[in-house]
């Protein structure tokens, strides 16, 4: 699965909780080295060889760690709407 995601600029570093969906850095954006952390739909990647972002978890790795440790998500990421 990581070979499919990497071809489209998504660097996999894990899996979403309770899912086969890969957790990736999105290197396709214009954020320099502040890559968003996204969840990719594994069925789309495996069945159709295309990466579809299911959810953006954080605007960068720092926000992901802060959210996990302090529970303070950034208002610009999808995770801020979840409780």
* Lookup: tokens for 77: 């990421």
pLDDT of the chain, 83 residues: tens digit per residue = 888 899 999 999 999 988 999 999 999 977 677 899 999 999 999 999 999 999 999 999 999 999 889 876 656 555 544 43
The predicted pLDDT at position 55 comes to: 94
Among the listed residues 4, 65, 1, 75, the one whose alpha carbon sits nearest the alpha carbon of residue 37: 65
The predicted pLDDT at position 74 comes to: 58
Task: Identify whether the C-beta of residue 45 lies closer than 8 Å to the C-beta of residue 1.
Answer: yes
Report the predicted TM-score, pTM, of the whole model to 2 decimal places. Answer: 0.79
């Amino acid at each position: 699965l990581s070979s499919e995601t990497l071809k489209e600029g998504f660097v996999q570093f894990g899996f979403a909780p309770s899912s086969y969906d890969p957790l990736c850095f999105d290197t396709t954006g214009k954020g320099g080295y502040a890559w968003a952390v996204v969840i990719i739909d594994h069925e789309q990647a495996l069945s159709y060889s295309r990466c579809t972002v299911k959810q953006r978890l954080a605007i960068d790795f720092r926000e992901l760690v802060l959210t996990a440790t302090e529970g303070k998500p950034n208002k610009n990421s999808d995770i801020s709407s979840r409780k």
